[in-house]
Structure 1
């Protein structure tokens, strides 16, 4: 497929009052509405009006994030939307394959084929909430996740597509031999099956992955259909894109079977000066003491007495191989310090915008230029759009940036299909495991 035929894939990452950590302090912000379903619905309906492929909810099992549980929220959103995909983060380390397979199958049926699963292994702080003393080691988590996803796929396939006939005359509801026990016995899981709900409308909900470590990239090449990733510049995004796409062949996959969507976190206004004014206002509202404490914990050094405007050094910092959490994000921060000679204040402000994702401050035309460059030059198949301010940031993206992308022939003018897979240009996986089973 040529670059002229390709169309951008765009996802909106839902995140409270916005992806800038100080967005909740703006005068117009309404942080008290984070649990207000009507508020979330209005944002999602804006994304659907803009013809975006999907919305995405991050999730975790620890901390004070004060957010709705994804399956509950997305099931409610499914009943009030028609086209937009609904992607939920669900970790493998602190779940069981049967529960996850059943919940995603249910969401896919409720939404009529619009569900997606963002596969993560989970954060370390969750261990103590699940009767565990410590978080499993990084490579072990990915090994477990690989088996976990295999079990879930087998459970989705345990019902053949034509298993249900509801023949009232013959008195037959399901065809004999078309609902299967999977009898899975692996290194980490043992699951008899079958699943107690029919195969999802999409075959499998779209499989999304967000890790960019070495283990994460290999896991994505084998199993993922969409990758959410973070890069600070075009060159790094291009290198990542080439690296991951080159791994697909060993798994018998082609480049168009995996969509790479870097995060892009914009502040958009009518002029660059207006956008910069908003950015500076947000910088002023950042809790510097809290940011220094958080960065100290991540880097493993005490920065509380470090001058805010002095360039940082890497002396004594925790290296990436010592990290048992998000290795790729840790490495991104180290690279920022090494390559750009940032002061502590500059690093705090850079990370405040979107926790390490690419940030943009400027006009709709300027943002469209950036998106076009990355898309047409091997750095992205689309973007994970992360407005620094919700809902205004998404409103201006939909009202001003989307029309410009459409004018350039880069984005759809109507939804191509009825399922998330169809809109992403991904094939529905066949149930090859049981396609030759018996009939009656």
Structure 2
């Protein structure tokens, strides 16, 4: 069977770039409307993409002062998208740290049933003190603890889906998506993940990451073919290279500096106060990635850039463009297709979670010009061959992890509750 590329679109509010909401002819408040999401999803279905992808965090990001945020709860949005589409997959991010497995299993299982088998669940452990405080906890749980809970939580949810005898999905059960590049995250991906959403800047490292996850799956009695690795890819498309670079330069100019600094400081777990744009980040402030709190995935990516390139703070902020660390490709449709094809053919990726620079315009450029170029190269489908997300991804129904049981309610330990 010919190996085919997989593509999702991440509907990340106004776009992945920190200044996307300021881009000319962009409605800065569109992501507060359901039509923003349904219109992009319909466009993605016309382009025959595998799925739409919704990120989420169960707290109000303080950076709302500087840019629009993720605004609507994912399963609510996906239910509306399901009603207005027929084939496109529906992937939503829901926390294993701040949800109940009984409720989550039913919510996603029911959505998978009514959508005709199109749902995927992106398992995240949710880093950061803001979310912890939002749930009455003193601080976020320790990193390893979050991942141990995530593994048990996910296996309980999968067992609950497998035990359903009514309202069963045509695809058997939702696809388990996992995003995490830390040591604990890679272990979780090998144990429970079917689609792995990764962050990587380097082709050789991405190829090694994919091989590690597929090899690690064998330790849990799984087959490498059960794993689909989709790195995040931010795209800036222009009809000419000069046009694409001018678009990127404008996005860098309109990036709110306060937002970029705040986001980077949070990712690195350090203060940037008093550091000018002309200075590099002092190496002594950075710990080993395995010792970092918060999201080790993005810490690892950003630290690698700092170690490799020794950029000034200003240069680093522009390189990241407020997007957090996903790779950015700037160019013509042909140049972007060249990049996608190279990563795909050498085994660094099975496809990509596409994160357009600006929404909806950046995605329209990708769907109208990059996707047809990928089709001309025989890399991407021209029509859907199935009706379920598993069908689009070429995934079968894996066995329920041994020892899994349907979820029981977990009381919150007294040590995690803020006393009155």
Distance 1:88 1:290 in 2: 25
Say which SS state the counterpart of residue 21 (structure 1) adopts. coil
The residue aligned with 1:296 is 265
Q: Which residue of 1 aligns with 2:126?
A: 122
Contact 1:311-1:342 at 8 Å conserved across structures: yes
2:255 and 2:321 in contact (8 A); partners too = yes
Aligned counterparts of 2:43 and 2:29: Cα–Cα separation in 1: 20
In the TM superposition, residue 79 of structure 1 has moved relative to its aligned partner by: 0.5
Tell me the secondary structure at the aligned position of residue 32 of structure 2: coil
Task: Summarize the alignment of residues 235-314 of structure 1 with structure 2, pairs less than 5 Å apart.
Answer: 235-314=204-283
State the 1:300 CA deviation: 4.2
Contact 1:156 1:200 in 2 (8 A): no
Measure the CA separation in 2 of the matches of 1:77 and 1:381. 25
* Structure possessing the higher radius of gyration over alpha carbons: 1
The superposition leaves residues 189-223 of structure 1 with CA deviations (integer Å, 9 ceiling, x where unpaired) of xxxxxxxx533332220100001111111111111
Give runs of ≥4 in structure 1 deviating > 6 Å.
430-433
Runs (5+) with no aligned partner, structure 1: 161-196, 434-440
Change (3 A) 1:112 1:321: same
Aligned to 1:68: 72
Q: How does 1:376-415 map to 2 (within 5 A)?
A: 376-415=345-384
2:88 alignment partner in structure 1: 84
Match of 2:112 among 97, 108, 112: 108
> Secondary structure of 1:315's partner?
helix
The alpha-carbon deviation at position 76 of structure 1 amounts to 0.8
For 1:285 and 1:257, locate their aligned partners in 2 and report how far apart those are by CA, in whole Å.
Answer: 42
17, 24, 43: which is aligned to 1:46?
Answer: 43
Q: Can you give the 5+ residue segments of structure 2 that lack an aligned partner in the other structure? A: 62-68, 403-420
Distance 1:301 1:133 in 2: 20
| Counterpart pick for 2:320 among 338, 344, 351 | 351
| In structure 2, C-alpha distance between the alignment counterparts of 1:401 and 1:225, rounded to whole Å | 26
User: Alpha-carbon deviations, 1:225-282, whole Å to 9, x = none?
Assistant: 1001011121221121122122121122222110000011010011110111111111
Please state how far the C-alpha of 1:318 moved relative to its aligned partner.
Answer: 4.2
For residues 352 and 8 of structure 2, the distance between their equivalents in structure 1, rounded to whole angstroms, comes to 6
User: Paired residue for 2:333, among 352, 357, 364?
Assistant: 364
Bigger mean CA deviation after superposition, 108-117 or 249-258 = 249-258
CA distance in 2, matches of 1:140, 1:12: 31
> Relative to structure 2, which stretch is displaced further, 29-38 or 307-316?
307-316
Q: CA deviation at 1:159?
A: 2.6
Contact 1:14/1:55 (8 A) holds in 2: yes
Change beyond 3 A, Cα 1:387–1:379: same
**Distance of 1:107 and 1:429 partners within structure 2:** 20
C-alpha spacing 1:293/1:120, structure 2 compared with 1 (3 Å):
closer
Cα displacement (A) at 1:324: 2.5
TM-score (norm 2): 0.90
Distance 1:134 1:415, change over 3 A: same
Q: Deviations over 1:344-399 (max 9, x none)?
A: 11110122253100101110000000010000001000000000111111111111
1:225 aligns with 2:225: no
Q: Tell me which residue corresponds to 1:145.
A: 150
Q: Distance in 1 between matches of 2:145 and 2:301?
A: 22
Query: Whose helix fraction is larger, Structure 1's or Structure 2's?
Result: 2
Report if the CA contact (8 A) 1:293-1:304 is conserved: no
Q: Cα offset for 1:142?
A: 1.0
- Aligned residue among 5, 10, 15 for 1:18: 15
Contact 1:156 1:198 survives alignment (8 Å): no
Kept in 2, the 8 Å contact 1:212–1:328? The answer is yes
SS in 2 for 1:239: helix
- Residues in 2 aligned to 1:351 and 1:72: alpha-carbon distance in whole angstroms: 30
- How far off is 1:69 after superposition? 0.8
Q: Is the 8 A contact 2:17 2:357 kept in 1?
A: yes
In the alignment, is the contact (CA less than 8 A) between 1:9 and 1:424 conserved in 2?
Answer: yes
Take 1:257 and 1:66, find their aligned partners in 2: how far apart are those partners?
30
Q: Which residue of 2 aligns with 1:36?
A: 33
Q: Say if 2:374 is the partner of 1:374.
A: no
1:119-198 equivalent positions in 2, closer than 5 A: 119-124=123-128, 125-160=130-165, 198=167
Distance 1:22 1:60 in 2: 20
How many Å separate the matches in 2 of 1:134 and 1:432? Answer: 31
Aligned pair partner of 1:94 in 92, 98, 110? 98
Q: Distance in 2 between the 1:159 and 1:294 partners?
A: 42
Task: Determine the structure 2 residue equivalent to 1:8.
Answer: 5
